[in-house]
Amino acid sequence: MFDELTGNSRVKGVLERMLVADRLPGAMLFTGEEGIGKKLFALEIARALNCRTPKDMEACGVCSSCVRIRKLNYPTRDDADEWTQIIWTDHPDVGLVVAPRRVLRVEQMRQIEKEANYRPFEGKARVFLIDEADKLNDASANALLKVLEEPPRTSHLILITARPAMLLPTILSRCQMIRFSPLTPAEIEKYLIKNDTDVKTARLRARAAGGSMGRALSGDLITFTSQRKAMLKVLNALVLSNDRAQLLRSAEQLNEAQYKDEFEERLDVLETLIRDAWMLSLGVDTSRIVNEDLSAELKEIAQKIDPGRAGDWILQIEDLREQLIVNVNRKVTTDSLFLVMAGDVAATKRPKVR
Ligand SMILES: [Zn+2]
């Protein structure tokens, strides 16, 4: 039933081979942008493991186990206590935890440890999803390490994150990492049309979604479009106009109160733009880039971009994300990020705090 999931055919192949060979790791880390199906793939694994009538180790999709695993019972109320429990599917062996107030807590990891040690109640394997794994703090990460070190053979943990750089090395080293790619506009378009969006709207949404099905479906394309416009200015200033004043204006805008909650999203968008320009500079076809609708602008940038520097920029952005965890002054850090990217200031690689 992996067929029914959109995109990431390489990942499908990898997971199918692991399942068929009965070599699915006890701990996996699914990485890749928001809204590209990481959680759906994780649930599909849970179904494959627990399906009553599997075919070649793939879930049938229709038996009672398959049907019940599809449904996650998110709490309906804003009650913090409920959100800090394991959120079960309708199947007693499959559940997930999320970060209620932007932190995954120690108690949640202890619950997972306890549950993972039980044998499956009904199916063949217990599967636990840890969503937003980048929201583990030191204490909860340490609590999780205990299970990750030796997960019982019948339990599987799948950590999910769009920001793997924020995870402790000790966690990273214990998980098999599976990287998901952004979806192509064609993949998103096909899905939208299949789900009753008219062809014209589907085309538009797919092209402006920046590789994220979540964004194409949620419809908040206006915010996204303005974020992308702002970040394209940064890339233009870096590559084409060499405009320091623009860079500082952009840094300032990133820190304006009204965009406070969008800070990380904007950095994500900037990264996809850099990657696209970089790919175009290497001769990759426009149908394979994320921001296909901006291909004219990105091609112009691609002609001037230095691929080595583009790689550095992405590392520098990741570095900024790490620094932000330790309460550094965001304004100062963002200013200096853009100046480092412009090559005015040497990158100061600060020692890792954790
Ligand atoms: Zn089934």
pLDDT value of position 219: 65
CA of 332 to the centre of ligand 1 (A): 54
Residue 322 confidence class, pLDDT cut points 50, 70, 90: confident
What is the C-alpha R_g of the chain? 21
CA of 52 to the centre of ligand 1 (A): 5
Nearest to 227 by CA among 199, 201, 202, 258: 258
User: In this predicted model, what pLDDT tens digit does every residue of 281-293 receive, in sequence order?
Assistant: 999 998 888 888 8
Q: Can you tell me the distance from the alpha carbon of 69 to that of 91, in angstroms, rounded to the nearest whole number? A: 6
Check the CA dihedral 211-213-215-217 and report its sign. Answer: positive
CA of 108 to the centre of ligand 1 (A): 29
CA of 157 to the centre of ligand 1 (A): 20
pLDDT value of position 323: 77
Mean pLDDT of 279-308: 91
User: In this predicted model, what pLDDT tens digit does every residue of 227-274 receive, in sequence order?
Assistant: 899 999 999 999 998 888 888 888 888 888 777 778 888 888 898 899
Residue 351 in this model has a pLDDT that exceeds 50 = no
CA of 66 to the centre of ligand 1 (A): 4
Least confident of 211-225, 256-270, 295-309, 322-336: 322-336
Average pLDDT, the chain: 88
CA of 111 to the centre of ligand 1 (A): 27
CA of 36 to the centre of ligand 1 (A): 24
Residue 98 confidence class, pLDDT cut points 50, 70, 90: very high
Q: Which long-range contacts (CB under 8 A, 24 or more apart) does 55-58 make?
A: 56/20, 57/16, 57/19, 57/20, 58/1, 58/2, 58/16, 58/19
Mean pLDDT of 191-211: 85
DSSP letter at 286 equals G
CA of 47 to the centre of ligand 1 (A): 7
Residue 327 confidence class, pLDDT cut points 50, 70, 90: low
User: In this predicted model, what pLDDT tens digit does every residue of 34-74 receive, in sequence order?
Assistant: 889 999 999 999 999 999 999 988 999 999 999 999 888 88
Q: Can you tell me the distance from the alpha carbon of 194 to that of 189, in angstroms, rounded to the nearest whole number? A: 9
Residue 325 in this model has a pLDDT that exceeds 80 = no
pLDDT value of position 346: 62
Q: Which residue has the higher pLDDT, 131 or 73?
A: 131
Q: Which residue has the higher pLDDT, 211 or 174?
A: 174
Mean pLDDT of 319-332: 75
Mean pLDDT of 159-174: 92
pLDDT value of position 166: 87
Residue 119 in this model has a pLDDT that exceeds 50 = yes
Residue 353 in this model has a pLDDT that exceeds 60 = no
Residue 170 in this model has a pLDDT that exceeds 90 = yes
CA of 161 to the centre of ligand 1 (A): 27
Q: Can you tell me the distance from the alpha carbon of 206 to that of 204, in angstroms, rounded to the nearest whole number? A: 6
CA of 58 to the centre of ligand 1 (A): 8
Stated as kind and residue range, the H or E segment containing 268 is helix 263-281
CB 183 within 8 A of CB 245: no
CA of 40 to the centre of ligand 1 (A): 15
